[in-house]
Amino acid sequence: MRSADIYQAIADNIGKVIKGQQPAVRRLLAAFVSGGHVLLEDVPGTGKTTLAKALARSIDAEYHRVQFTPDLLPTDILGVSIFDQRDQGFHFHRGPIFTSILLADEINRASPRTQSALLEAMAETQVSVDGMNYNLDPLFFVIATQNPIEYHGTYPLPEAQMDRFAMRFHLGYVEAENEIAILSEQNRRHPLDDLKACAGKDQVLALRRQAADIRISDEIKAYIVDLIRATRAASGVLNGASPRASLALMKASQTLALFDGMEFVSPDHIQELAVPVIAHRLMLDPQARFAGITARSVVDEVLRQVPVPI
Partner 1 sequence: MDAQTLGTLSPLRLERAPPLLMAAGLIVWGWQNGLMLYAVPMALTLEATRWVAWRWAVTDREFNLVSDLSSVIFLIVVLYVFTDKGAKGIFVLLSLMPFVFFLLLLVQMYSEAGRVRLSALFISLRRLDPRYSPEARAEVDLSLPYFVTCLVSASAGNRYEDAFFFVVGILLGVVLWTVRPRRYPPALWIGTLVLATALGYLGQVGLIRLQWAVESSLMQVFDRFLWRYRDPNRATTAIGSIARIKLSDRIVLRAKTPQPLTRALLLREASYDTYSYGIWSNRDYEFISVDPDITGTIYALSPVPTRDRITLSTYLIEESGVVPMPLGATRIGDTNATAVDRNSHGAIRLEARKGWVRYTAGYGDGPDPDAPPEERDLKIAVSYGTDFQRLADRLGLDALPPNLAVSAVRDFFADGFTYSLTQRHRYPRGRYLTEFLFETRSGHCEFFATATVLLLRAGGVPARYVVGYAVDEYSPLERQYVARARHSHSWAEAWVNGAWVTLDTTPSVWAPLEDEQASAFEGLFDLWSWLAFNYARLRTSDDREEESDYGALLWLLIPLISVLAWRLYFKERVARGGKPAAAAALRSRQGMDSSFFAVIAELERRGFDRRPGETVAAWMDRLRAQSGIEFSSEPLALHYRCRFDPAGLSVNERHILDAEVRRALTEFARRAIANSLPGTTSG
Partner 2 sequence: MLKRLLYHNFRIVYRLSQWTRQRFTPAGLLILGCVIASGIFGVNTRQTLAYQIFALTAAMLVLSLLCCAWFRAGFRISRRLPEYGTVGEPLHYRVRIENRSRRHQRDLCLIDELHADFPAFEEFRAARDPEDRRRNWFDRSVGYPRLMGMLRNRRGAALAPLPVPDVPALDRAELDVNMTPIRRGYLRFEQARLARPDPLGLTRAIQTHASSDQLLVLPRLYRVPRLELGGHRRYQRGGVSLASTVGDSQEFISLRDYKPGDPLRAIHWRSFAKLGRPVVREFQDEFFVRQGLVLDTFLGGRSTQSFEEAVSIAASFAASSRAQDSLLDLMFIGAQAYRFTAGRGVAYAQNMLEILACVAPCPGDDFARLDQLVMQNIAETSGLICVFLDWNEPRRNLMQRMTTLGVPACAFIVTADPAVVSAVEAADGNGQRLVAVPPAAVQQTMDRFNPSVGRA
- Contact residues for partner 1 (CB under 8 A)? 215-220, 222, 263-268, 271-272, 303-310
* Nearest approach, Cβ of residue 309 and partner 1 (Å): 7
* Nearest approach, Cβ of residue 302 and partner 2 (Å): 14
- Residue 271's binding partner, choosing from partner 1, partner 2, none, with beta-carbon cut-off 5 to 8 A by kind? partner 1
User: How far apart are the C-alpha atoms of 9 and 3, rounded to whole Å?
Assistant: 10
Burial 181-192 (b: 16+ CB within 10 A, else e): ebeeeeeeeeeb
Nearer to partner 1 by Cβ, of 78 and 214: the residue is 214
Please answer whether residues 252 and 34 qualify as being in contact, where contact means their C-beta atoms are separated by less than 8 angstroms: yes
Which H/E stretch holds residue 14?
helix 3-17
User: How far apart are the C-alpha atoms of 25 and 171, rounded to whole Å?
Assistant: 9
Nearer to partner 2 by Cβ, of 18 and 107: the residue is 107
Please answer whether residues 240 and 231 qualify as being in contact, where contact means their C-beta atoms are separated by less than 8 angstroms: yes
* Nearest approach, Cβ of residue 265 and partner 1 (Å): 7
Nearer to partner 1 by Cβ, of 209 and 304: the residue is 304
- Residue 87's binding partner, choosing from partner 2, partner 1, none, with beta-carbon cut-off 5 to 8 A by kind? none
- Residue 148's binding partner, choosing from partner 2, partner 1, none, with beta-carbon cut-off 5 to 8 A by kind? none
Nearer to partner 1 by Cβ, of 15 and 267: the residue is 267
* Nearest approach, Cβ of residue 29 and partner 1 (Å): 20
- Residue 213's binding partner, choosing from partner 1, partner 2, none, with beta-carbon cut-off 5 to 8 A by kind? none
- Residue 310's binding partner, choosing from partner 2, partner 1, none, with beta-carbon cut-off 5 to 8 A by kind? partner 1
Parallel, antiparallel, or unpaired for β 79-84 and 167-169? unpaired
Neighbours of 175 (CB within 10 A): 10
Nearer to partner 2 by Cβ, of 87 and 219: the residue is 87
User: How far apart are the C-alpha atoms of 65 and 95, rounded to whole Å?
Assistant: 11
Cα Rg for the chain, rounded, in angstroms? 20
* Nearest approach, Cβ of residue 70 and partner 2 (Å): 4
- Residue 153's binding partner, choosing from partner 1, partner 2, none, with beta-carbon cut-off 5 to 8 A by kind? partner 2
The percent helix, strand, coil of the chain (3-state, each to 5) is: 50, 15, 35
Nearer to partner 1 by Cβ, of 204 and 277: the residue is 277
- What contacts 84, CB < 8 A, 6 or more positions away? 90, 91
- Residue 290's binding partner, choosing from partner 1, partner 2, none, with beta-carbon cut-off 5 to 8 A by kind? partner 2
User: How far apart are the C-alpha atoms of 97 and 110, rounded to whole Å?
Assistant: 15
* Nearest approach, Cβ of residue 288 and partner 2 (Å): 8
Please answer whether residues 62 and 51 qualify as being in contact, where contact means their C-beta atoms are separated by less than 8 angstroms: no
Nearer to partner 2 by Cβ, of 80 and 174: the residue is 80
- Judged by the rule CB under 8 A, the positions of this chain that interact with partner 2 are 70-71, 73, 76, 80, 82-83, 85, 109, 111-112, 151-155, 286-294
